[in-house]
Amino acid sequence: VISALAEGTKTHVPYRDSKMTRILQDSLGGNCRTTIVICCSPSVFNEAETKSTLMFGQRAKTIKNTVSVNLELTAEEWKKKYEKEKEKNKALKSVLQHLEMELNRWRNGEAVPEDEQISAKDQKSLEPCDNTPIIDNITPVVDGISAEKEKYDEEITSLYRQLDDKDDEINQQSQLAEKLKQQMLDQDEPSRVHVEQKLLASTRRDYEKIQEELTRLQIENEAAKDEVKEVLQALEELAVNYD
């Protein structure tokens, strides 16, 4: 990523699909003021690592960030701006119709009175402040928000389904573990000697494997719950931005 940004000749920057890369994306050629701290070691043992770090810092210093205004409109602001531009568009269409009618009258040899003519001042007052295609911009924004919300909803549903499956699997493993534990407790004293000792050892091994599997499933279950929390938090932030 640093090499691609430093050279400035590549059209594609290979950002990795990771949270850290996405967080630093604005700092690497984006719109953030970035400070780089290079840590060096005076030890001969770390000479190669220090040189590599300094070369990395030298390349990173050549990256030029793109400065732009951080203007983000809410959905309500977009709606107001859209309505405003819609009214302007309606007024301009009305002026255009009047001008076309006036032109036809002139072409037909009719003298149009001055009070019926549209002055340049009236036309100028209806000109849009900028040439930004507001209508074209709003639709992708709204569609993008809706698509992202649907994506989060589907992901939440899938994660909850996985949690249910993990809970069922944990319950089954717990029941089997209790059953094996009870079998171990029900074993008689060394009266049945060799056969029962082998059976007991095998049962213990199975019990230990099940306990390990149960621990693994519980860890996966906790990880899935944490992922659900992150998705819910992201969905709440998206809903706030959408409002």
Q: What is the pLDDT along the chain (243 residues), one digit of tens a residue?
A: 556 665 666 666 666 666 766 777 777 667 777 788 888 888 888 888 989 888 888 877 777 766 666 667 777 777 888 888 888 888 888 888 888 887 777 777 777 677 766 665 555 555 544 444 444 444 555 555 566 667 766 777 777 777 777 777 777 877 887 777 777 666 555 455 566 667 777 777 877 777 787 778 778 777 777 777 777 777 777 666 655
Spatial distance between the Cα atoms of 179 and 153, rounded to a whole number of angstroms = 39
Helix, coil or strand: residue 15: coil
- Structural element, H or E, at residue 168: helix 134-186
- Dihedral of alpha carbons 218, 219, 224, 225, sign: positive
Write the DSSP symbol of residue 27.
T
pTM: 0.26
Spatial distance between the Cα atoms of 171 and 163, rounded to a whole number of angstroms = 12
Q: Report CA dihedral (132, 138, 140, 145) to the nearest 10 degrees.
A: 140
Spatial CB neighbours of 86, under 8 Å, sequence gap ≥ 6:
135
CATH number at 2-61 = 1.20.58.1980
Closest CA to 89 of 129, 34, 46: 129
Q: At what angle do helices 134-186 and 193-242 cross, to 10 degrees?
A: 160
Q: Counting runs of H as helices and runs of E as strands, what totals does the chain give?
A: 7, 0
